Amino acid sequence: MKSEKNGISTLVAPEIVQVQGISTHGFWMLINEREYFLDFESYPWFKEAKVDQIFNVTLLHDHHLFWNELDVDLELTSLDEPERFPLISKAS
């Protein structure tokens, strides 16, 4: 007797990007098994954001972070090599 065709997989791929925690100074992210700390002084776009807005991040094309609700885009290269990408915010 031959088994029927396999059904649809219910397994979900592990998250590639994940916010690990938030403090009064910034937040930690785990991206492709590497941890980053984004402090609110250097990344002021997140300082007044709601917790769920910070957690609502998408990794596009394996190198581009996007927070849709906050209209914030960051390239992973800018987190890996911040000296090459001085951030100048117009946020007040």
Q: In this structure, is residue 8 part of a structural domain?
A: no
The pTM for the full model equals: 0.75
Contact 37, 22 (CB under 8 A): no
Q: In this structure, is residue 65 part of a structural domain?
A: yes
CATH code for the domain of 55: 3.30.2020
Q: In this structure, is residue 23 part of a structural domain?
A: yes
Q: ∠ at Cα 68 (53, 66), nearest 5°?
A: 100
How many domains would you assign to the chain?
Answer: 1
Contact 46, 36 (CB under 8 A): no
Q: In this structure, is residue 1 part of a structural domain?
A: no
Domain that holds residue 70: 17-84
Look at residue 91 in the predicted model and tell me its pLDDT: 57
Per-residue pLDDT of the chain in tens (92 residues, 90 and over written 9): 666 666 665 555 555 899 999 999 999 999 988 999 999 999 999 999 999 999 999 999 888 999 999 999 999 999 999 888 876 656 55
Q: In this structure, is residue 4 part of a structural domain?
A: no
Which tokens hold the place of 28?
A: 């930690």
